[in-house]
Chains A and B, each alone.
Chain A
Amino acid sequence: MSTRIPVVEKILSANDRIADRNRETLDHAGVFGINIMASPGAGKTSFILKTLDALSGRLKLGVIEGDLATSIDAEKAMAAGLPAVQINTGGECHLDAVMLADALPALPLQDLDLVLVENVGNLICPASFLLGTHLNVLIASIPEGDDKPYKYPGMYMGMQTLIINKIDLLPYVPFNLEYFKQGVEALNPGVTTFPVSSKTGEGMDAWADWLVEKVNANRNNGK
């Protein structure tokens, strides 16, 4: 004889609870956190470096590096005088809330306005693991192809801001922007979108201005 006990609990609920605590830590320090996700090769690293340039002198920034392939980035950020932490994911395909909870105390949060978290390059699971950041940003890129929202709906549902990178390649690569946008719209209606080119700098100002406003609005809400 066996007895059935109803449970109905989300499998990742433990992660979500720690993510809530991370959010409290950030809010308590008045820091806005963004989680940057993308497939490998979407241009995450150069996009972040350009973003750091565009925000220089406007916001006090910290960087948390989770990408396996870019351990050099934390050093680059530190060389630029920014506080940076490298997370060793031990081969995991995503960051989770525990890893962020371990990394946050290594940053001088009281002195910062914005923390950029670079997630592991992967288009499948990072969006399933909440970190506690205020914003999930997904970087799509033109050479990846226009079918990605249809192939990886989880990531396109789990973000709140979409960057379409490498738009300078649109004339050279078959990419149906309408078809791409239809997929995005179905999964994430009305999502804020910035077409950019990290290479030419096109669109970067609009993204940076919007982010500064977002960070300031969050800080004012907290007070």
Chain B
Amino acid sequence: MHELSVTQGILDIALKNAGERRIKQVNLVIGQFSSIVDDSVQFYWDIISKDTAAEGSALHFERIPGEMSCRSCGHVFRPNGETFTCPSCSSPSVRISRGNEFQVESIDVE
């Protein structure tokens, strides 16, 4: 499990951007292909944000589903975990177009 180091990264970024202000909410954008467990991050967050400007703040996760696009016909689809073949034209030549996001999008401060 690497959620603790990830959570520490989120806290560092949030505090750096908040300046002196109290943080009410941190808004995260997490793609499906980024391996992270929301509940664990929230658990660590409550612990490590104690005695910082982020104490008592909420984490908001925006989940981005994985999406692929076909290099042959341009069709956009969600992979089913068993094959990446284009469901429209059966081409195996596809690429991931969404789902790699892993960032702090914004913070809400008082």
Interface residues of A (CB under 8 A from B): 1-15, 92-94, 96, 124-125, 128-129, 147, 150-151, 153-154, 157, 179, 182-183, 185-187, 189
Contact = CB atoms under 8 A, between A and B. Distances in A.
Interface in B1-56: 1-2, 5-6, 9-10, 12-14, 17-18, 21, 24-25, 27-28, 33-35
B109 A3 contact: yes
A154 B83 CA distance: 15
Interface size class of B (residues with CB under 8 A): 35 or more
A18 to B, nearest CB: 12
B24 A2 contact: yes
Contacts of B100: 157
B2 A2 contact: no
Nearest to B81: A150
A93 B83 CA distance: 27
Which of B9, B21, B66, B85 has its CB near the most chain A CB atoms (within 10 A)? B9
B33 A153 contact: yes
A30 to B, nearest CB: 31
A150 B84 contact: yes
A137 B73 CA distance: 31
B92 A186 contact: yes
A190 to B, nearest CB: 11
Closest 8 CB pairs of A and B: A186-B84, A2-B108, A182-B92, A7-B104, A11-B9, A186-B94, A124-B35, A6-B106
A154 B106 contact: no
Given A2-B24, A12-B9, A147-B82, 17 more contacts: A1-B110, A4-B107, A4-B108, A5-B109, A7-B104, A9-B17, A11-B103, A13-B9, A92-B5, A93-B1, A124-B35, A129-B2, A150-B79, A157-B100, A182-B92, A183-B83, A186-B94
A59 B104 CA distance: 43
Contacts of A11: 6, 9-10, 13, 28, 102-104
A185 B93 CA distance: 7
B75 interface: no
Interface of B: 1-2, 5-6, 9-10, 12-14, 17-18, 21, 24-25, 27-28, 33-35, 66, 68, 79, 81-85, 92-96, 100, 102-110
A13 B102 CA distance: 10
Nearest to A184: B84
B102 A10 contact: yes
A154 B31 CA distance: 11
B94 A154 contact: no
A14 B15 CA distance: 14
B85 A150 contact: no
A44 B94 CA distance: 30
A74 B19 CA distance: 45
B105 A8 contact: yes
A3 B14 CA distance: 14
B2 A125 contact: yes
A144 B6 CA distance: 28
A7 B2 contact: no
A37 to B, nearest CB: 14
